Structure 1
Amino acid sequence: MSSESPNKRLDDGAIFGIGNPLLDISAEVPISFLEGYNLKANDAILAGEQHKDLNETLLRDCPNHQFVAGGSTQNTMRAATWILQQPGACVYMGCVGQDKYNQLLNDAATKAGLTLSYQIHHDPEGHVQTGTCAVLITGNNRSLVANLGAANCFTIDHLDDPKSQELIEKAKLFYTAGFFYTVCPDAVMRLCEHADKNNKLFCTNLSAPFICEIFGDRLMKAMPYVDYLFGNETEARSFAKHQLKLDTVDVKEIAKALSELPKKNAQRPRVVVITQGADPTVLAIAGKNIEEFLVKKPLDIVDTNGAGDSFVGGFLAYLALGKSHAEAIQAGAYCAFECIQQSGCTYPDKPNFDPATMDNNSNNNNRASVTANTSSNINASTTSSSTTATTNSSASTSSSSSGATSSIRQSHKRTFSESDSSSRTERHLCSFSHLWIINYLSSYIDDANSTCLQSESFSPVNTPYSSTRWSLKLYPRGLNEKQHTNNNIAIFLKYVSGT
């Protein structure tokens, strides 16, 4: 597959996403800028009173700032549009404020090729602004300051607007991340019922452990309508524990159980896709064998923000085109692969997706099982033609996320410091709702290895994971065949205890 878009072209508005929109404002800033707002170089927080003028200061004093249309589902819609190279194929709906950030977000999303249906939240006193996330870059560090604002104010009556109704009728596939269940679950159920009644696909995402634990009942209410369910192993295990009451951490068993939950349209078996960072992606289809797909890792990783959202975007794009599940997973992996090599949840100008290059094995057999299932075409015409996740206030602030992180490469022995170990990792824990970084690194650590150079443990304070305990360890190169051979040293992270 070349940079020309896939062989078929979707109808306009075929993919419909609804979620919590954020305007990401990214800029390189001096340390003094962080100090002026009492911010840490590696952190992710919700904006407080002391940060009320931060965005304005950033726009005024940092001419190098960039705007990205963020929020988990919006990232996914951008990723799908990008790999399709078809503006207008994806519709995005969410709530914004009546302010200039609305216009900036609208411009960024429109430039990315999305068809928008923003609900405008009218606040006479002007206290509720369009959701934003300031991304303050100092060297290799990123400090995130999110103001969720109007993203939390979506109301179901927006679905009754005639223009919204027209977009819903045209759509063939619906998607929302788990975060939106905290905002307007009634809107989710309305779309579920519409999809079921009209034989359309409804897809959703577990999105974060706190969603599975605290809002899992809302996910369970929608589950009979869910045709495609996404998540990572951390989220899958959380959902299995808190909602399914399963006494297992085996991802394949959990994926199978999720696929076999009761479903209204029994003629279309549920498909469950569980990513595991650098470990194989698990595909479970009700009544069929479990499949696993290897993950290709780039040599250099710039930023893992939005990797999970990007994966789903690529998958949905190829699902909508009627490609096989194997091809959809490869397309998703490619979008994530490109995303983590960019700053922020962004992509190169054009995709250059070749499914063969996404295989890790030289014989191009990237599956542990070979019972591939082909998905149905979603009203695609056959013409040639050329996305922090958003959370509610109880959650971590992120661009949603998800992806793997690379080990640190140095030419000399290095020791830990507060800035490049605990605080950096706390930022990762708080920033990436999909926590692929943890999944990736945990699979490589070897507690019994005597060559560990140094270790420390910590709790990620001021995050939803503050009651957990984590271990950081420093190892030399070449401990096992999994480790990247071009690393002189590597820092590994492992979960220790807590929930």
Structure 2
Amino acid sequence: MDTGEPKAKKIKLEKKKISQNALFGMGNPLLDICAVVDKDFLDKYTLKPNDQILAEDKHKAMFEEIVKKFAVEYRAGGATQNSMKVAQWMIQKPSKVATFFGCIGEDRFGEILKEKAQEAHVDAHYYEQSEEPTGTCAACITGDNRSLVANLAAANCYKKDKHLDLEENWKLVKKAKVYYIAGINLSVPVFPTQHASEPVKPLAQNHVLLKGQQQAVRLGAANVLLCERNYDLSYGTANECSGPASPKLQNNTLHLKSPCGVGEDGWLSLMGLPHGFFLTVSPESILKVAKHASENNKIFGINLSAPFICQAFKDSLLKVMPYVDVLFGNETEAATFAREQGFETEDIVEIAMKTQSLPKVNKKRQRIVVFTQGKECTVMTKGDKVETFPVLQIEESEIVDTNGAGDAFVGGFLSELVQDKPLEQCIRAGHYAANVIIRHVGCTLPEKPDFH
């Protein structure tokens, strides 16, 4: 039966044996809890049908209630863990090629997360602590709509000295040949009041208000995400946002006065997020792994993860960058990184080349830079050149959920990289995995891949 999954061109290649724990990932794990719910449940927790938000105090009880009231499906989630899942799925055998470190709570959800990671054949070793519960993300489905509520909790509590430094865990790190670290890939659109004739498209973490973001950091929020109807809005409000009368912080929402006429009286509502990226959770852990990879001529990769990482945590990012062999990001993250580095260009090919040329500790490996652009061509540096690769075509009607596309691309790419395959094949594998993921809700996968 035709499943509608993309068919990849079959290429006959010599099969190389790959060892367990060859691929290592470290990040923020979440247990995804998916259920079909009713309108009363959404109303009780003041959720919109297509919300994507971080849990507030009023939402904390919903994670237990959704399990008691509805039939739920559990999945291991979080950006890096998703990438490890996809990589392991692409590789298939042996199991446990992919290793994952992160922090969970000593609770029932933590036990379920361990089971789900095991079902995905990922060798997950979690730091378990009792101060915070296991991070969760509830997907509340009503009809064709899906409301996401994430409670990061324990995901933000990883401790290097209590987990990474332990001999039995560090042995697993040393077994790996490829390393990858990212943040939580959580899009959180916040809908401003809008005129009926001006529909607003949620752009979430891909488009940020630069000056407003800096204000949010000063006011105690680590990030600002927004919905906007115009790409250039990101550059149009800098002066207004820096004015002393502009910012208002209410209920963890940063309100900024916009001169662009969006909403009543030109006010645009932007959400401030707490820390949710591993670079902000345990930078010392990242550096330890990065230095090990560099000193042993192994491959260390990171993801820019979100535009605000390139700004609010610029110093932490630059401390890691000299050790980076493979850098992933999307076009918006690349543009933000370029501005912060003073590259003085908006051309993504030039940005890729300039990023590749940044100082690097391990001179034996030239840095590889990979920038995805949604449905547009993926850009990758190779040697002293930049190559572009078209993505696999897909009918709009077949796209179900694009949230996991970035994680899946990285997972596909790494599944070939860890087997020493050519970079062109790594890109093809990334495109294939992303194409599969966007046909399903969440980071869910068929039983086996059809990629050769």
Q: Which residue of 2 aligns with 1:81?
A: 88
1:296 and 1:314 map into 2 onto residues whose CA distance is: 14
Q: Closer, same or farther in 2 for the Cα pair 1:186/1:258, shift >3 Å?
A: same
Measured against aligned partners, the alpha-carbon deviations of 1:363-390 in whole angstroms (never above 9, x if no partner) come to xxxxxxxxxxxxxxxxxxxxxxxxxxxx
2:11 and 2:433 map into 1 onto residues whose CA distance is: 13
Q: Which residue of 1 aligns with 2:384?
A: 288
Letter in 1 for 2:446: P
Letter in 1 for 2:154: A
The reply to whether residue 183 of structure 1 matches residue 281 of structure 2 is yes
1:77 Cα deviation from its structure 2 partner:
0.1
1:5 and 1:120 map into 2 onto residues whose CA distance is: 42
Q: Which residue of 2 aligns with 1:316?
A: 414
The alignment's TM-score, normalised by the length of structure 2, stands at 0.75
The reply to whether residue 235 of structure 1 matches residue 333 of structure 2 is yes
The reply to whether residue 71 of structure 1 matches residue 78 of structure 2 is yes
1:57 to 65, 68, 78: 65
Q: Which residue of 1 aligns with 2:428?
A: 330
The reply to whether residue 32 of structure 1 matches residue 32 of structure 2 is no
SS in 2 for 1:113: coil
1:265 to 355, 362, 385: 362
C-alpha RMSD over aligned residues:
1.6
1:60 Cα deviation from its structure 2 partner:
1.1
1:265 Cα deviation from its structure 2 partner:
1.2
Q: Which runs of 4+ in 1 moved over 2 A?
A: 1-9
Q: Which residue of 2 aligns with 1:14?
A: 22
1:246 Cα deviation from its structure 2 partner:
2.0
Q: Closer, same or farther in 2 for the Cα pair 1:266/1:117, shift >3 Å?
A: same
The reply to whether residue 114 of structure 1 matches residue 211 of structure 2 is no
1:297 Cα deviation from its structure 2 partner:
2.6
Q: Closer, same or farther in 2 for the Cα pair 1:85/1:206, shift >3 Å?
A: same
Question: Does structure 1 conserve the Cα–Cα contact (< 8 Å) formed by 2:343 and 2:354?
Answer: no
The reply to whether residue 172 of structure 1 matches residue 180 of structure 2 is no
1:216 Cα deviation from its structure 2 partner:
2.1
Q: Closer, same or farther in 2 for the Cα pair 1:326/1:9, shift >3 Å?
A: same
Question: Does structure 2 conserve the Cα–Cα contact (< 8 Å) formed by 1:21 and 1:70?
Answer: yes
Question: Does structure 2 conserve the Cα–Cα contact (< 8 Å) formed by 1:95 and 1:150?
Answer: yes
Q: Which residue of 2 aligns with 1:405?
A: none
SS in 2 for 1:91: strand
2:17 and 2:121 map into 1 onto residues whose CA distance is: 15
SS in 2 for 1:234: helix
Q: Which residue of 2 aligns with 1:46?
A: 54
1:146 to 125, 146, 150: 150
Question: Equivalences for 1:480-491 in 2 at 5 Å?
Answer: none
Letter in 2 for 1:20: N
**Which segment is superposed worse, 136-145 or 308-317?**
136-145
Question: Does structure 2 conserve the Cα–Cα contact (< 8 Å) formed by 1:20 and 1:95?
Answer: yes
Measured against aligned partners, the alpha-carbon deviations of 1:431-453 in whole angstroms (never above 9, x if no partner) come to xxxxxxxxxxxxxxxxxxxxxxx
Question: Equivalences for 1:188-227 in 2 at 5 Å?
Answer: 188-227=286-325
Q: Closer, same or farther in 2 for the Cα pair 1:90/1:6, shift >3 Å?
A: farther
Identity of aligned residues (%): 48
Measured against aligned partners, the alpha-carbon deviations of 1:457-479 in whole angstroms (never above 9, x if no partner) come to xxxxxxxxxxxxxxxxxxxxxxx
Letter in 1 for 2:386: I
Measured against aligned partners, the alpha-carbon deviations of 1:152-196 in whole angstroms (never above 9, x if no partner) come to 000111111121011011111111014210100000000011111
1:129 to 126, 129, 133: 133
1:312 and 1:9 map into 2 onto residues whose CA distance is: 21
Letter in 2 for 1:270: R
SS in 2 for 1:284: strand
Measured against aligned partners, the alpha-carbon deviations of 1:330-365 in whole angstroms (never above 9, x if no partner) come to 0000000000001111111110015xxxxxxxxxxx
Letter in 1 for 2:133: Q
2:375 and 2:14 map into 1 onto residues whose CA distance is: 26
SS in 2 for 1:9: coil
**Which segment is superposed worse, 174-183 or 307-316?**
174-183
1:290 Cα deviation from its structure 2 partner:
0.9
1:198 and 1:236 map into 2 onto residues whose CA distance is: 28
Unaligned runs of 5+ in 2: 1-8, 184-276
SS in 1 for 2:446: coil
Q: Which residue of 2 aligns with 1:456?
A: none
1:96 Cα deviation from its structure 2 partner:
0.5
1:255 and 1:216 map into 2 onto residues whose CA distance is: 18
Measured against aligned partners, the alpha-carbon deviations of 1:180-237 in whole angstroms (never above 9, x if no partner) come to 1010000000001111111111000001111111112211111111000000110000
2:168 and 2:139 map into 1 onto residues whose CA distance is: 34
1:122 Cα deviation from its structure 2 partner:
2.6
1:97 and 1:211 map into 2 onto residues whose CA distance is: 26
Letter in 2 for 1:49: D
Q: Which residue of 1 aligns with 2:400?
A: 302
1:3 and 1:255 map into 2 onto residues whose CA distance is: 29
Letter in 2 for 1:306: G
SS in 2 for 1:8: coil
Q: Which residue of 2 aligns with 1:490?
A: none
The reply to whether residue 163 of structure 1 matches residue 173 of structure 2 is no
SS in 2 for 1:40: coil
Question: Does structure 1 conserve the Cα–Cα contact (< 8 Å) formed by 2:297 and 2:364?
Answer: no
1:214 and 1:147 map into 2 onto residues whose CA distance is: 22
Q: Closer, same or farther in 2 for the Cα pair 1:118/1:5, shift >3 Å?
A: farther
1:6 Cα deviation from its structure 2 partner:
8.6
2:406 and 2:84 map into 1 onto residues whose CA distance is: 12
The alignment's TM-score, normalised by the length of structure 1, stands at 0.68
Measured against aligned partners, the alpha-carbon deviations of 1:299-354 in whole angstroms (never above 9, x if no partner) come to 21011121100000010110111111110000000000000001111111110015
1:268 Cα deviation from its structure 2 partner:
0.8
**Which segment is superposed worse, 328-337 or 295-304?**
295-304
Letter in 1 for 2:45: Y
